[in-house]
């Protein structure tokens, strides 16, 4: 089974689906390859918007693939992976077209970082989501902390990062993380959410998005993400982090 699906639809939507439901759509290197492919495809003229979602109804994305990334022991090894994924998420943030995290299910850790890089987050009413990295004795390491601090009120962003817990859909909307809670078919609800935007010319959408990109560039987002990656890589090599990940991997 291919770990991702990329589908360009007639109305200009490009839909990227992480297709690892049995691993709760955890991100491994193949999913990263897929995201890079999607971001290149999204630049084509006929594409108006990019939607990112997960297969199945359990998870949007459970973050980094812990079995695979647990092999990375040192700061340098962690840095390489974190740096690659942060570059992907920066590209997503700076994509000159609107992007949507269509949260069909739970989003944990890096799954929330992926969602934070998108312009809109809409979620099924059953969703739980949170930046639980703190419980693994690391911080966000893909740029998500920086993105969140640009998108939420500072105190809300800080609370979400520092509490390192999962919240339900109502709480996420209240905090400003979600723009819409839906029940029923995710893609139908996503189309409904995007209806009015999709009828506009692609150049209009692009011009508005560019205004925000300029703001983020002026706010030094790129440099702040680099610092976030470096900080996380240092924590990654600590014993406390490896111990917590082993606990998850070896749980019964």
Ligand X SMILES: CC[C@@H](C(=O)O)C(=O)SCCNC(=O)CCNC(=O)[C@H](O)C(C)(C)COP(=O)(O)OP(=O)(O)OC[C@H]1O[C@@H](n2cnc3c(N)ncnc32)[C@H](O)[C@@H]1OP(=O)(O)O
Binding footprint of ligand X on the chain (CB under 6 A):
23-24, 26, 58-59, 62-67, 69, 106, 108-110, 113, 132-133, 136, 140-142, 248
Q: Which residue has the tokens 């689906």?
A: 17
- Closer CB to ligand X, residue 3 or residue 63? 63
Q: Nearest approach, Cβ of 174 to ligand X (angstroms)? A: 21
182 Cβ contact list (under 8 Å, min separation 6): 122, 123, 124, 125, 189, 193
Going by C-alpha positions, the residue among 49, 62, 38, 70 that lies closest to residue 246 is: 70
**7 burial class (0-12, 13-18, 19+ CB within 10 angstroms)?**
exposed
- Give the whole-angstrom CA distance, residue 155 versus residue 36: 32
Decide whether 81 or 205 has the Cβ nearer to ligand X. Answer: 81
- Closer to ligand X by CB, 16 or 131: give it: 131
Write out the two tokens for 60: 């949007």
Our CB check for ligand X shows the closer of 44 and 239 to be: 239
DSSP 241: H
Name the helix (H) or strand (E) containing 7: strand 4-8
Q: Work out how close the CB of 252 gets to ligand X at its nearest, in angstroms, rounded to a whole number.
A: 10
Minimal distance, residue 66 CB to ligand X, in Å: 4
Q: Rounded to the nearest whole angstrom, what is the least distance from the CB of residue 63 to ligand X in the complex?
A: 3
What SS3 class is residue 129? strand
Cβ-based nearer residue to ligand X, 42 or 233: 233
Instruction: Identify which of residues 69 and 147 has a Cβ nearer to ligand X in the complex.
Output: 69
Least gap, CB of 26 to ligand X (angstroms): 4
Tokens of 243: 């111990």
Give the shortest CB-133-to-ligand X separation in angstroms.
Answer: 5
CA angle 1, 124, 140 (to 5 degrees): 75
Write down the H helix ranges in 1-138. 29-41, 66-69, 75-93, 110-117
**Best CA proximity match to 197, nearest among 50, 30, 24, 6:** 50
Q: Which is nearer to ligand X, 50 or 72 (CB)?
A: 72
Least CB distance to ligand X at residue 198 (A) = 31
């Amino acid at each position: 089974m291919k770990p991702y699906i990329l589908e360009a639809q007639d109305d200009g939507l490009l839909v990227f689906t992480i297709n690892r439901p049995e691993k709760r759509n955890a991100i491994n290197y193949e999913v990263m390859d897929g995201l890079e492919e999607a971001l290149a495809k999204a630049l084509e003229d006929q594409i108006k918007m990019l939607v990112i979602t997960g297969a199945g109804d359990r998870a949007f994305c459970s973050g980094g693939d812990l079995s695979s990334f647990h092999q990375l022991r040192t700061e340098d090894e962690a840095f390489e992976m974190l740096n690659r994924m942060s570059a992907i998420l920066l590209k997503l943030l700076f994509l000159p077209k609107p992007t949507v995290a269509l949260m069909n299910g739970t989003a944990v850790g890096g799954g929330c970082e992926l969602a934070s890089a998108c312009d809109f987050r809409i979620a099924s009413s059953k969703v739980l989501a949170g930046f639980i990295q703190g419980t693994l004795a690391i911080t966000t390491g893909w740029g998500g902390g920086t993105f969140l601090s640009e998108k939420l009120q500072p105190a809300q962003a800080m609370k979400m990062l520092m509490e390192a817990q999962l919240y339900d859909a109502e709480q996420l909307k209240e905090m400003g993380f979600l723009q819409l809670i839906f029940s029923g078919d995710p893609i139908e609800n996503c189309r409904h959410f995007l209806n009015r935007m999709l009828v506009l010319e692609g150049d209009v959408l692009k011009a508005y998005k560019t205004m925000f990109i300029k703001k983020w560039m002026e706010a030094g987002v790129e440099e702040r993400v680099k610092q976030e990656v470096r900080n996380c890589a240092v924590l990654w090599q600590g014993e406390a982090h490896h111990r917590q990940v082993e606990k998850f991997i070896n749980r019964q």
